[in-house]
Structure 1
């Protein structure tokens, strides 16, 4: 039945209409527009990339999806949404495979993000991953090596940083601004390693080169370093360069550089200006944070709005598909209901048949149980009386009648619960001794009337019938001249050991049937243990162990 349901489901899946989306030109156009806006109007660029992504997701174009996400992360990073940029890049990595040409860009940007978060060790690892990519261009490689060196000296790993930076051959660096940044990082690292290093003249020379090439961002880096190295020895010079950095930061509209410049000014400025500098720093810091929060919210809204539109489109398509398949699903559910009804009917019939079989088995078991009891009470009882009369020819009629009456009561109460009798201990020992004659001696050893204390009455009866079964078999088959029944009792167990010197039982393991099987079942039912074994001197040994019960029945 399950197999047929599986085929029905396959039918529905096969019937579903596949929508082929031919929109790559539109998506690529949006992507190109976003690229042209990147670093100019990052908010608008982010929006273009989001619109392109909505198309790329439909066509499962993982390559362009990852590229668009990387560009979005760059837009977020340059507008201060560092954590959002990191999340976007992690999303981009899920669409990339080993050897993807965009991997180096993702790794490099993640390195920049970690550097901005001052997680320099993590930044170093991401730069190293980017450098391991085979598709990395020479320019990108030099740029990542420079950034890796910066991450290393931030961790005070000056020797490693210098090794990384000096691994770049200046002759191979065509970008003059990048070449100047690499040189400046080398000088700065040398100064960090040895504060006596004459870095002033080298920084000033590099500053001239940057200003000559209109590299204001690079010039700000030089101003920052010149302010730092003169902070303790020449506060006035440090203050001058800090003000130069502030002016340039305002010119290039870099709030982070402005904040750093004000911080450097505060360290060397006249104490009377401390409050003014603090207010300026606090106001700028709050403005930057507000700006970053606003951009973060804008990015979130753009993504939400784009996803919302896509969800709405998908909902309309889903409604159409739902209507087309609604009738088929009704047929399917109707068929499933019919199948379930058939299964229920089949299971019901099987259940009824099983219950009927269980009743028949129960009746047979009851019949066997009753037959067993009749055998134990009547057949063995009669044989016991015969033995008793034979061994005691002078037995009076009263005793015989009492025995017959007792057997009658037992046979009458076969299907009822047993009621404890007061003279059971005497009857038990009389039963054992009745099998003793001049030709066959049966000796009870260690038997006392109080031995039955703490022994449930149903257990007493089962032991009575079991031992009588053993003695009947002894009388009929063993040819024994001497038998003994030893009783031992402690706080935990009652032990009964039967021993005779007869012919024993050949092939004992193969002859466990009838009488032996009955005794085993009896002892097992009362939680005891019974074993049959050969007597080393000839004959049979039967050992019975019964746990002491703490409750009377």
Structure 2
């Protein structure tokens, strides 16, 4: 019997390690896209804030791979909002980690991205020689054409800055063709926009077509920073043609996008377009003087973190020390997993309760759940860790019990979700969405409607907890009993109330309030709300909530 208990814990530990890793990937996906392709003005600041927290966490865990990834994304985000020096600092720190590790040769994509971003930083500082060196470093480690596209594009940008338009056009034309073949729409738009810009300087008839095509692609993708570049290049194209009315309309469009990006750097740059249209010689003289002063300041105050790093590069760490650090990191993850499993097991043993209470009772139960979770975390973890350490020394085959253990694990994991803490603060909408989409799989599609339009700050913490638990109960019943393949949950504000409609296409049933549905009804009534159910055999299941 003791052997079976240890076997059970070993399987749970392995399974939870996999679940934790997947959850980390899913939770960072939103912020990853927010950095690389921001869709709203909030995306870049939110992404930077998230990856700063991730960087702190991964440094504490001595997780080198994720630390490098965090630094790289922070460098991109800071650069996009105009914090050039911060971007450079993050790049240098990331390169330091890359060069200090014995597995540096495997980090090809990271090195390409970091050197490319470093080149962009130097270009923004008008340090064209160092920028070209950085782009060549990126090309030197790029194994394929796809990996070479971005550094090549940035090399062409240097030629454009130096007014070597013929050299730039040759590279851009090559990139237009390769990006189209690779079916990379955003990279294709970038190459088209850049090619159109230099063709405009060369008085090439194809300039406008390429600029318009790039703009349309970026509009369809709602790629704000790219769209700003398109409007800006179209402004210069028509200004050079002497079409003041059209160029002003594109300046207006660029300024509107700059405000949406929510970056003072973009807004200042957009406003400068209006100055460039002015015919007043004093304004022209002012701008020329201001530009020359800014260039001089950029050159003289160039804070080159990379140069400092090259003078004081840390000694590379040995392969053995890296291996030891990786082993210690894995042990910490196992330890954290065991704490979670200990919590789940005790919840499964001791948390069976009935819901018949008003508002104060709901709050009391929720606080009790959180308090017991903390107590389990603090008091059981060390003993559980000793058990799993002993288990790792046991080499006997335990595969015959895996099917039953899988079912037990899924039940305990669900209990953990049903009784764990809920973030009811600023991120509640995201937390609720993650819970609902957690029931999505290959057989079941889950769709939410208007969830992101609800202003959750209007509702009390007590009400948000109740909504979360009731929807969780409905989704659990769907997964266990309905055989549904499609679930839809819609949200709509009704003055001071919130209406939520749930529906699935399952097998339905004769309406009989089980303990789960009764619990959901009790929760809603305790919040002075209403809930109704509609179902019959073969017609799916519907619920309407008004709180």
**The TM-score by the shorter chain falls in which range?**
0.3 to 0.5
Greater RCO, CA 8 A, separation 6+: 2
> What's the TM-score, normalizing by structure 1?
0.40
